Amino acid sequence: MFPAFLEETFRRFGGRFDQFSETADAGPSCAQSVKLTVEHVVEETSGRLRAVPGYARRLREPVASALRSIDAMVDQIPGVLSCQRSTFATDPHVNAFFVDHNSMREVFSTSKEVRALFDANTAAEQCFALLCMHRGERRQLGMALVGDQLHKDVMQTAVSFSDHQVVSPGLDETAARCALKCCIFNCVVGHIRARSTQLNSGTSDLESRARALNGRLRHLVADTHEHAAVQREIEALDAELQRQGPRLSSLDDQLRFVADSLSRLDEIVACRHQTIYVDRLGIRQDNAAATNVHELRLAEIQVATKPPRVASLVSFPRGELLPERDFLREASLFLAA
């Protein structure tokens, strides 16, 4: 779950994050949102940063910059895709994302969050959510119609979508978009925390190895094979330390690293829009000129070095929920068989 104030911040100020700038005459609600978001970043990275004088002021604009970037990024993702039996037959995106109608229903029906939302809102006829998937492509031999001739053993590219995940369902599209924005923001903050720890531990290890090798070098006879080998190893460590960047040896260094990372969000997270063409069997085509070929417009979000995931805003009707499975009963029946 995301902090309630973070969702409310994206909902209230979506598209108007210029109010967070240092020079803007922000009202009380805006100032409170800034304060809470900054404190959230500090708490999730290192609470010790509060010991740095002026930490909140120094993080204000970097946090606002990150919020603006994420807000604009998510608002460019196409509108809600309706996932139900009728659209599986008519919408090329729904048809491509799922193997069949039953597998689509199972993705939503096995989501505890979807069921909890419907249970808590008995009048709701549908839910809205973010659907994340991995897109895979594999080369295979198949048949293809070339002109009027059917050719066998044609090399083709099959496109598939797997590892479906329904994220933070809500009662409307705005809630779904806010959930995606919160998810990205928290992933960015988590990456900054992990990168900060990695920089410190990695640099410390390299420095320790370099000191040990320098101590060893002093006891070796110059111009020998062993002396040259140790010298080369030290030079390699020095080069690696340069690539690692400066060690975050002080709280001020850590605060500066957090602020710089938030200000350069495009180095951490990216949303790439891509259009591909596939037929009803999921075979990728060069263009839309072929018969029975459909256009898929995809948004792929990637955070740091994690594999990119296709992100789609979707809706799903309560009426297509599968009956809740009794896994204990199914296990008993299996063991009794």
Domain borders along the chain are 190-264
Instruction: Give pLDDT, residue 183.
Output: 86
What is the pLDDT, as a whole number, of residue 213? 67
- Residue 244 CA from chain centroid, whole number: 24
The beta-strand segments (E) located in 6-125 are: 81-82
Residue 283: pLDDT band (50, 70, 90) is confident
Start-to-end CA span in the chain (Å) = 40
Mean pLDDT, residues 94-120: 93
Rounded to the nearest 5°, which phi and psi values hold at 207? -65, -40
Look at residues 199, 161, 99, 105 and name the one whose alpha carbon lies nearest to residue 309: 161
Low-confidence winner among 12-21, 89-98, 271-280, 324-333 (lowest mean pLDDT): 324-333
Q: What is the pTM of this model?
A: 0.73
Least confident piece of the model among 18-32, 55-69, 163-177, 219-233: 18-32
What digits encode the pLDDT tens for the residues 4-24? 778 777 877 766 666 555 444
State yes or no: pLDDT of 297 exceeds 80: yes
E strands along the chain, which residues?
81-82, 126-146, 149-170, 269-279, 284-285, 293-303, 309-317
What confidence score (pLDDT) does residue 245 get?
A: 57
Read off the pLDDT of residues 146-191 as tens digits, 9 standing for 90 and up: 666 666 777 888 999 999 999 888 899 988 888 888 888 999 999 9
pLDDT band at 224 (very low <50, low <70, confident <90, very high): confident
The residue that leads in pLDDT, 110 or 334, is 110
Integer Cα distance of 256 and 52 in angstroms: 11
Over range 31-42, report the average pLDDT.
85
Q: What is the pLDDT of residues 233-274, one digit of tens each?
A: 777 766 766 665 555 668 888 899 999 999 999 999 999 999
Q: Which helix (H) or strand (E) holds 137?
A: strand 126-146
